[in-house]
Structure 1
Amino acid sequence: MTTVEAGQAATWARPRLRTGIVLGPGMWRDGKLVHHVKDPETGWYYRVGPREHFLMSRMDGTRSLDDLAEEYATAYQRRLGPENWQQLFGMLHKRQLLHGATDPDALAALAATAGGGAAKAKRGLLSGRLPLFDPQRLFDRVLPWLGPVFSWWFVVPALAVALAVAGYVVWHLPELAGGVGGRPLLAIVVAVAVTWLIVFLHECAHGLTCRHFGGRVTEIGVMWRLPMIAPYCKVDDVVLFTPRRRVATAFAGVFVSMLALVPFAAVRLWGSPGVLYDLAGTMLLFGTATAAINLVPFLRLDGYHMLSHTLNLADLRADSYRFYGRLLRQGPRAVAGYRPRDRAAFTLYGLTSVLLAGTVLTFLIRYWYTTLANWLTPTWAVVILTTEAILLATLITHLTRRRPTPTP
């Protein structure tokens, strides 16, 4: 037996995952509990079931296969057969996750396909992402100086100040909104530039919080969904966090955005009329509105992710779609396997989404109809609205059919 074969035999006898492999806590996806597994060397994230996670979490090189089998039988009241071990080790070998049983060429191939193809697929004329730099070293330098801001001694008072700013904006909303049209061009231009800076800080807050909890932040860049263009920060490691830490990471952006408005509130409270005073009013109005929109759980923004993480769901919207699809096609029996709390969450989220979308659509149609009727005639308004509805439905159908099915 060669040295390599002897090493592999020892690996199979007392299996151990490669150094650096990270196993995440469980979260629910489509009614099933899943765990995320990260391989930092290749950049891949994998999803495994609770039973695979149970065995992988105990592969530390100290337990034999018999030890693992006994612990598994105690936990699940079921013995593992040869075909079960073959399936498990086949998956581990394919993903190169076992210590002492790796192939450098296979590792290189996995690293080359992790994220590269997906990033190119996401880039298009109407929507996409453009990575700019890896912020890991920058965040590692900054974090030691920011340690106190992650303590409750800072978070609680700062949150109270942010809520006070929001209350001030709501209380003075007529005054702030009434002066938008009369604000000088300079105040508007500066407001746009400052808003971009705040959005950048917003994204950095996500990244710094992720890094604070031990995650890796791989890139900062610019994303576009025309006509919107904004920076983004990639924090994929949140799937390895507990629900509380995932919620904190998602909320960090809005939290910093609201704190960034505190100086403008001070200018409005104690400043005198002028360009800076007008700029402060514009920033308070649109900054608070942006933060509020970010918290709406029916848009795929921070509020949506906070709600998903609070419920410990991987993707609340997608799972709600699947839930209603099965319910409408096959009846209540098709969703009987879901947990009661998940059935309640999907039902409420779906109904509320439809109600909100219907309300917004009704107001938009009514506003557009009234505008067209004033410009032209009621008859032409109906014709134009009908034509637009047909074109929009055709476009949505076309895009839906062209969308490729994601591969897990």
Structure 2
Amino acid sequence: MSIDLSARPRIREDVVFGPGLRAGDTAVYHVKDHATGWYYKLGPREHFVLSRMDGEHSLDDINAEYVAAFGKRLGPQSWEQIFGLLHRRRLLGESADADLAELERLRAAAAAETKRSRSTLLLKRIPLVNPDRLLGLLAPRAGLLFSPRFVVPVLIATCGVWALVISEWSEIWGQMRLHRGAPLYLALVITTSWVIHGVHEFAHGLTCKRYGGSVPEIGVMWRFPLLAPYCRTDDVMLFAAPRHRVYTAFAGVFASLTLSVLFAGLWLVTADGSTMKAFAGSMVLFTSLASLVNFIPFLRLDGYYMLTHALGLADLRVETYKFWGHLLRRHMAEVQGYRRRDLWTYVAYGVGSALFAAALIGTIFTLWFTRLSGWLGPVPAAAILTAEAALIITLIVYARRRKRS
């Protein structure tokens, strides 16, 4: 393959490059091909080259800048590898125009890969609708929802909701117990809880669309042991402004907090002992506690992604595991290139995660053991807990091996 260094290649305009996100001692760049739906991850060198293929830079120009940045010139073999990849993926303008059938094949392959990656023993996503067009109509008209004139008062009001939860805790709990077996109460609570989850996910999608992303799916997700709605907002990794990534992650919690204010108002105006009073109290409690749980950064929920985006990291948990793996195996050379801030982040997050996991597991096992002991006695209870722990560990190991295969 002969390489013309005077050529000025151009990556297709619908191929979008995301910002560099820290991953260990390097950076990761997310790239999306809108024509096929493929997402790619590039290292700094690959991103440096491809991001300059804009039809303005010749290969000689790119090579000169590459030498200045990395101290090494790209030879014929490197260029052949780069163009081989670009042609296989149809990322160049002329290659896309020449082979629409190949683009369709890549589109089908991307859909198949997405379907495969979201179907494991512990995780399965079932898409229901494509909301992108609807969100495209709503996002430009929803400016008030993103304005401080709306956001700040709602956040202040949620402080009042928490004051209500704390001060009225026994009353809320009493009203819930009074109606816990009533069919109407249970139907309202279950249905509304799912609606709240749906609004939560829709808010993620609306915010993603507001800042330029596409939202191809809203559906139902099985994440062991829970079943809940989900919204696919992968394009958040392409946002140049970190605050837009943080806002998208926060939007779901904010929507739930907004609803908690409405349910608190309903609690205040309904009569004691009524079904609506118990329902309102349940929803205030549900939205408030769910929002609090979502903020915990040691669970892969909204708070985790807010923290990851705010720190400019590719994946806080994965990089923390890698860092501690190097540290425990005493591979100190592997962490020499880490930034000081990242080192402290991985240390703090690793220690915090371990303490949180120990406290959570210890609490669950203590409560479950206490309950089982009351029913069966301590020895059968211990045997059941041991069997359950072995089963959960086996399922996790199996799921991870299957994902890697």
* TM-based fold match above 0.5: yes
Return closer, same or farther for 1:330/1:91 CA change in 2, 3 Å cut-off.
farther
CA distance in 1 between counterparts of 2:317 and 2:151 reads: 30
Q: 1:171 aligns with which of 146, 161, 167?
A: 167
Equivalent pairs, count: 398
Aligned residue type for 1:253 = G
Which sits farther off after the overlay, 152-161 or 76-85? 76-85
Aligned residue type for 2:75 = G
Aligned residue type for 1:203 = E
Aligned residue type for 2:7 = A
Contact 2:139 2:207 in 1 (8 A): no
2:357 aligns to what?
357
2:29 aligns to what?
35
2:62 aligns to what?
68
1:314 aligns to what?
314
* Aligned residue runs from structure 1 range 116-135, under 5 A: 116-123=112-119, 127-135=123-131
Which sits farther off after the overlay, 27-36 or 192-201? 27-36
Return closer, same or farther for 1:307/1:284 CA change in 2, 3 Å cut-off.
same
Q: Report how far residue 190 of structure 1 moved.
A: 0.4
> Over residues 288-327 of structure 1, what are the superposed CA-to-partner deviations in whole Å (9 max), with x where a residue is unaligned?
1111111111111111111111111121112212222222
- Considering Cα pairs closer than 8 Å and 6+ residues apart, tell me whether 1 or 2 has the greater RCO: 2
Q: Report how far residue 100 of structure 1 moved.
A: 1.3
Which sits farther off after the overlay, 309-318 or 374-383? 374-383
CA distance in 1 between counterparts of 2:3 and 2:101 reads: 21
**Does 1:108 find its partner at 2:104?**
yes
> Over residues 211-252 of structure 1, what are the superposed CA-to-partner deviations in whole Å (9 max), with x where a residue is unaligned?
010111111111123552211111110110132111100000
Return closer, same or farther for 1:42/1:138 CA change in 2, 3 Å cut-off.
same
**Does 1:58 find its partner at 2:57?**
no
Contact 1:188 1:282 in 2 (8 A): no
CA distance in 1 between counterparts of 2:136 and 2:267 reads: 36
> Over residues 254-310 of structure 1, what are the superposed CA-to-partner deviations in whole Å (9 max), with x where a residue is unaligned?
101110122211122343322222211110011111111111111111111111111
Contact 1:24 1:35 in 2 (8 A): yes
1:84 aligns to what?
78
CA distance in 1 between counterparts of 2:116 and 2:334 reads: 37
Which sits farther off after the overlay, 277-286 or 29-38? 29-38
Quote the sequence identity (%): 45
CA distance in 2 between counterparts of 1:395 and 1:125 reads: 8
* Aligned residue runs from structure 1 range 200-215, under 5 A: 200-215=198-213
CA distance in 1 between counterparts of 2:225 and 2:233 reads: 24
> Over residues 40-68 of structure 1, what are the superposed CA-to-partner deviations in whole Å (9 max), with x where a residue is unaligned?
00111111122322232222212222222
2:137 aligns to what?
141
Which sits farther off after the overlay, 80-89 or 299-308? 80-89
2:185 aligns to what?
187
Question: Secondary structure of the equivalent of 2:177?
Answer: coil
> Over residues 102-129 of structure 1, what are the superposed CA-to-partner deviations in whole Å (9 max), with x where a residue is unaligned?
3333322211111323314533676411
Return closer, same or farther for 1:358/1:51 CA change in 2, 3 Å cut-off.
same
2:267 aligns to what?
268
**Does 1:371 find its partner at 2:371?**
yes
CA distance in 1 between counterparts of 2:375 and 2:143 reads: 59
Return closer, same or farther for 1:77/1:173 CA change in 2, 3 Å cut-off.
same
Aligned residue type for 1:256 = A
Aligned residue type for 1:97 = L
Aligned residue type for 1:33 = A
Contact 1:96 1:107 in 2 (8 A): yes
Q: Report how far residue 337 of structure 1 moved.
A: 2.5
Structure 1, unmatched stretches of 5+, are: 1-7
Question: Secondary structure of the equivalent of 1:38?
Answer: strand
Question: Secondary structure of the equivalent of 2:403?
Answer: coil
